[in-house]
Chains A and B, each alone.
Chain A
């Protein structure tokens, strides 16, 4: 089956079995191995990607479900050089240890911040409740996302209050 979709901003046509799991399509066909598999049944969230801006478990999505959709993976959230403030916050605040949950965690955090740039700790915990981390105890992940939200807010306000071009 031919599937038209957009992956990390690039229009893509895939010729795959309609039942192929999205995670396999990404990892095996597209070589986007930043998306990880921890359980294969939608519990751990290591395979979280954005579909039309919503965080979903790519192990529970099949190829035919992404027809006409926008899929974004951790690779698509990473700038060509350097890191985003969200990624930098994870490094600085201790939001990662072994790293296997980190791409999915950052994707889930992105989905939250795109909707709510002023989340409190409980809203963050709720947004990442589908992403299991066994290393950190989550405390520093919550801190990382709080800090990233603050950084992104201050950048926005800089843009808002910038004087008009002369």
Chain B
């Protein structure tokens, strides 16, 4: 039983080698086989002739030109749709987003460059505007920041640019509201100083 099986395997292997040589050369089938030294040998004669017949007589079909171009057009349309979908970000990674502060959107984008803007050593900056807040360092890093989010969205070009815009607007608003020497502050300080000095001067000049 095993010997018979081995015999079949060996015959199948010989047939496979014959077909390798036969199909390697296009054109005349017998020339292809002969070119590789296969004139029969150990191969069963019937198998060899059947191989030659199938090599020669089994055609490769081609669909109609109309079908080929129609399918090509359909594939092009599908490809264009995929391209558009990719452009608007539908192939982005779903990332949860938390509600609340406007600056939370900054968690969704890379804002490492903002450290230069806000300054890591600026103690007056609100916690939400410190670089660590953008990176999610305050409560467990980026993973912690993602865990805080509640609503899933797709990250794409539109959302990312919106996040940058809102974060940028928040930073500019804070910088404007915390201007170190505003004209109003200077005027208030000047008025306050005058009020403190005048009574003392009056007292000095007032004769006892």
Q: Do A and B come from one complex?
A: no
Taking Cβ atoms with an 8 Å cutoff, the residues of A that contact B are none
Taking Cβ atoms with an 8 Å cutoff, the residues of B that contact A are none
